[in-house]
Structure 1
Amino acid sequence: MERSPVMVERVVVAVDGGPASTAALDWALERAKVLPISLELTTVVDLGWAPAGGPDDDFRPIYERALSDATQRVEHEVPDIKKTSYVRRGVPADELVRASASADLLVIGTNKTGFLAGAVYGTLPLRLAAHSHCPVVVVPATWNPTAGTVVVGLEDDATAEVALSFAAAEATRLGRVLDIIHAWSIPATVAVEYGAVIPFDELRDAHAAILAEAAGRVRTAHPGLEVREVLEQGPAAMVLVDASGEAELVVVGTHGRGAVGSLFLGSVSHDVLLNLTCPVAVIPRPERLPDRVEP
């Protein structure tokens, strides 16, 4: 018997009752309109937030109420979706990383307030993106549904292929244009070696070839997808942040290696996450992505 090509995506959404987690749930519910998903709503009782000298459970009703409200909303808006809800206890980043081990996608909101994303602006999304076992989508609290392009940042390294594949699949699924953006600059070593006579055209052409080759692979794999090649000179993070203003989703890879390296992701992912204006999907290095078993 032929296997069904339809796969149910397992999506975990971090919930804390604040505007950022509401935006994360909004994004996941929009996704459910175009993709079969099963939804896990999870909240983490962070023991570190209990008042000094008070019982550990002081904040538990707050978390449980937020989870209950989110669950009721899902039941009202998408009653047929398969869903579960969990109250976890511990360090939020650690617990959500554990949740990511059995997920296809982890979705979290971010803003400057709230228990999960707001304790120290940007820290939790960065830690999750660095250590997650699955792609992480970080949704700004101000997000509203919009039809735009899917943008992927292309770097000439091992992270490129998984980020390209994810972005192409998203653009195909949404019926959007895929913009592959490759930013380049003149390395300091070249400037020192060549002095005032920098081989600008040769460098630009070499990077254009990298971009064209990547775009060609995507077009072959997704023949119906409109793919645009965008070559820009300048810092990659700045180029991607500028592009995010017109994008529906920005996709980046992570270079994290080890406890210290993975905390900072790689400068591009780090800077994009801290300056995002639209949802950003951070794709783990290939060795951290689990194998999927198709039904």
Structure 2
Amino acid sequence: MNRNSIVVGITAAPASRRALDWAVQRAADRHQSLELVSVVGGAVGAVGEREIVDRAMAAQRQVLEAEALRIADRGVSTTVRVDRGNPVARLIDASTDAALLVIGSDYRGPDSGPARGAHGVRIVAGAHCPVVVLPDLDLSDRAGVVAGVDGSEVSEHAIAFAAAEADRLGEPLTLVTAWSPVLMPDHGGVYPESGYPQEYLVNMQALSQEALSLSTAGLRQDYPDLEIRQHVEEGRPSAVINRLAASARLTVLGTHGRGAIARFLLGSISEEVLARLATATAIVR
């Protein structure tokens, strides 16, 4: 494994193939290699279990080899690996020396409810590298990259990742900042009848726009041919980002370091976006 490799988690879910196809295109564009990884879990050490697990691992290796053969004409160096154990832990381990980890999600759009299971969030929270999560959606008619910006150092990493991806795709980059006014108490706030003063709301919008412009000041120099759009809006960040991402090819968000692995937490905004994936979504540190 090397830092120029993309690890792809392969399962029986339809989104797994979408994840692989996305990773193949990225690897081809950026001259990276692929490692396809499957994990056989569920073993408890029962008598006679080893033979069953061995058969399952052999069958899964055949699946990986078939997928490697399917993408062989793309000119991407590909290896396969089948592990046994906890899928979350094994994929986190596989990300240690990778440039990127790509996994699929069973999410199929707003009518399907939130994505099921916590495995994806736990993998993203614990990974040692950026993670891209693919929903089970056809993204072929999408265009553009959307990135959430909040002025933090982690946000700068998200901007850099998003700009590189938008440049690779030759598509626009939309940088998004969402802001909210100071909460007023329910028991009769400062402005219980008239709401927030217009001057305050205008100033919040202007300050947020200024902060976004400062965060992205060097991008046009680094990517002179990249179309860069800025979007500042009052609202819940996850809702604003997912609405804009509904027509985008990729969303990029930053999250804080790997200290969250002990609790398998990412932060509310990242978790909310992952729960209702509008498009392929990258979480970077």
Identify whether the pair has TM-score above 0.5, normalized to the shorter chain.
yes
**CA distance in 2 between partners of 1:142 and 1:148 (Å):** 14
What SS does structure 1 have at the residue aligned with 2:164? Answer: helix
**Structure 2 contact 24–76 (Cα < 8 Å) conserved:** no
Aligned-pair identity in percent equals 33
Q: Which moved more, 1:96-105 or 1:183-192?
A: 183-192
Residue 12 of structure 2 corresponds to residue 17 of structure 1: yes
**CA distance in 1 between partners of 2:264 and 2:37 (Å):** 23
Residue 52 of structure 2 corresponds to residue 58 of structure 1: yes
What SS does structure 2 have at the residue aligned with 1:207? Answer: helix
Pair 1:222–1:190, CA change in 2 (3 A): farther
Q: Give the equivalent residue in structure 2 for 1:173.
A: 168
Residue 75 of structure 2 corresponds to residue 74 of structure 1: no
Residue 212 of structure 2 corresponds to residue 217 of structure 1: no
Supply the AA of the counterpart residue of 1:68.
Q
1:202 Cα deviation after fit: 1.1
- Please list every run of 5 or more consecutive structure 1 residues that lacks an aligned counterpart in the other structure: 1-6, 114-119, 285-295
Write the mapping of 1:1-295 to structure 2, written as runs, cut at 5 A: 9-48=4-43, 55-79=49-73, 80-111=75-106, 121-188=116-183, 195=191, 196-198=195-197, 199-255=200-256, 258-259=259-260, 263-284=264-285
1:130 Cα deviation after fit: 0.8
TM-superposition CA deviations, 1:50-92 (whole Å, max 9, x none): 6976614425434543442333333343343211111112111
Pair 1:53–1:252, CA change in 2 (3 A): same
1:124 Cα deviation after fit: 1.2
1:259 Cα deviation after fit: 4.2
- The aligned length equals 271
Pair 1:259–1:171, CA change in 2 (3 A): closer
- TM-score for the superposition, normalised by structure 2: 0.85
**CA distance in 2 between partners of 1:222 and 1:54 (Å):** 59
- Please list every run of 5 or more consecutive structure 2 residues that lacks an aligned counterpart in the other structure: 109-114
Pair 1:53–1:141, CA change in 2 (3 A): farther
1:160 Cα deviation after fit: 0.9
Pair 1:8–1:134, CA change in 2 (3 A): closer
